[in-house]
Structure 1
Amino acid sequence: MKSSLSLVLIGAVALSGCGVTGRLKEVGRAPNMSEVDIADAPSIEESLGRAGRIRPQETAAPQPHGASLFRAGAGAFLGDQRASRTGDILTVRINVADKAEVGNTTARSRGGSESAGLSSLLGLETKLPGSDPSKLIAGNSSSQFNGAGSISRSETINMTMSAIVTNVLPNGNLVIRGRQEIRVNYELRELIVTGIVRPQDIGRDNSIRHSQIAEARISYGGRGQLTQAQQARWGQQIYDALFPF
């Protein structure tokens, strides 16, 4: 048991040491921003105005194009400008104002008493010094439990960001993903939104509310010196994870 606990402690210290090394490298530096993820998108067909023009460096004749103004894949002339294809961008309006209060109180009490006697037991009851045959067996039990709990939670997020359509499902629904990072001095705040939306729910201004996103995953957090100062030391975190008392 002691050897297993020692191995666990050594492993935990080694893992935390890796984290400490990473934090030491960030001393005096602002947190790095993540790279931009480029979603695959279909190519847009050239306009009619550019189709007949030849650049000076182009020697081959341009490919012929159709003469219609409403070609598939071309920039819409009077069509719907809302997001509908992979790579399109739409606006997500996040207005989270949740508040929840839950309170529970439980009380339980139980008591019991048992008594039994044995007037004769093959004459053995007479050999028990100071015994009363009518009270050979007696028992009492009692238990009491009181429990109380309460939860009070309040969250408010009000902001607007853009998301990219990363996939179009067979039924026409759009899979979106948006990521926004803001770095101020040595603190990086990031907001990530993913989910599935219906094209019918997208407004005329090409925006959608967060409440209309199915399987929504909204993550708002950050990393940097302020976030590190609000966390317990890695030794305290290991102690809390390993010791049950």
Structure 2
Amino acid sequence: MMKLNRAPTVALVAAILAGCDAMPVKRGDNPDFIAASASAPIPQQYNNGAIFQAAQSRGLFEDYKARQVGDLLNVLLVEKTDASKTAKTSVTKESGAEADYSQSDLSNAGGLFSIAMSANRDFAGEGDSEQSNSLEGSISVMVADVLPNGNLVIQGEKWLGLNQGKEYVRLRGIVRPVDITAENTVLSTQVGDVQIYYGGTGAVADSNAMGWIMRFFVSALMPF
């Protein structure tokens, strides 16, 4: 009887499941969060001999707030969410039936036939879920685009190298110029269509990640 070698099969399954792991996050691997570079300015002509020089001019009422592609903007992260959900279900059903039948035959022998049925069903279910998240800090991003209505599309990422790994914050969204303060800052709660990602890489992040075997047993592929 020919025996099958299970080692290649096990190795193949392990390789497939390992390939399902998310690729490690790296700086600049997502174009949606890469810092945008400013376009080259148009060379200005010098008025030789004149007091006013266009290359050194600045508007009398112009400030230093972000308004053009490539300008920096400081976003203050003040995210905090609290969610709670409770569900209770109770179902009760009762039913019953009873029948009596009596008769006498020719020998005057009496007989009695009785039927009694009852059913009772009871179901109770209860669920409770709570979630709380908080993110505070700041991140400097760049203006990637200026929309026709004047709103600014901002994007950027911030990386911190710590012991045994790195932590990162990524942000992308749309800002109204009117929401930018005189200090060139804006709250993250005022950023529209915002995408904020916070995570880490390295030994500490890997120790908190579930292995591929355990992910298989808790996935929808596990029939039990």
Normalising by structure 1, what TM-score?
Answer: 0.66
Q: Distance in 2 between matches of 1:164 and 1:131?
A: 93
**2:208 is the counterpart of 1:226:** no
Q: Distance in 1 between matches of 2:53 and 2:64?
A: 16
Q: Distance in 2 between matches of 1:198 and 1:131?
A: 89
Name the CA shift for 1:69/1:200 in 2 (closer, same or farther; >3 Å): farther
**2:73 is the counterpart of 1:82:** no
Name the CA shift for 1:38/1:140 in 2 (closer, same or farther; >3 Å): closer
**2:64 is the counterpart of 1:39:** no
Match of 1:166 in 2: 144
Q: 1:138 aligns with which of 74, 99, 117?
A: 117
Residue 111 of structure 1: SS of its match in structure 2?
strand
Higher helix share: 1
Gaps of 5+ in 2: 1-9, 103-110
Residue 83 of structure 1: SS of its match in structure 2?
coil
Q: Distance in 1 between matches of 2:164 and 2:96?
A: 70
Residue 76 of structure 1: SS of its match in structure 2?
coil
**2:156 is the counterpart of 1:178:** yes
What code does the residue aligned with 2:58 have?
A
Match of 1:15 in 2: 16
Residue 164 of structure 1: SS of its match in structure 2?
strand
Match of 2:217 in 1: 239
Q: Distance in 2 between matches of 1:157 and 1:34?
A: 22
Normalising by structure 2, what TM-score?
Answer: 0.72
Q: CA contact under 8 A between 1:165 and 1:177: conserved in structure 2?
A: yes
- How far the C-alpha of 1:13 sits from its partner, in A, is 2.9
Gaps of 5+ in 1: 1-8, 24-30, 54-65, 121-129
Moved over 6 A (4+): none
Q: Distance in 1 between matches of 2:83 and 2:11?
A: 42
Higher strand share: 2
Name the CA shift for 1:182/1:131 in 2 (closer, same or farther; >3 Å): farther
Match of 2:95 in 1: 113
Residue 160 of structure 1: SS of its match in structure 2?
strand
Q: Give me the identity figure in percent.
A: 23
- How far the C-alpha of 1:216 sits from its partner, in A, is 1.2
What code does the residue aligned with 1:138 have?
M
RMSD across aligned positions (CA): 3.7
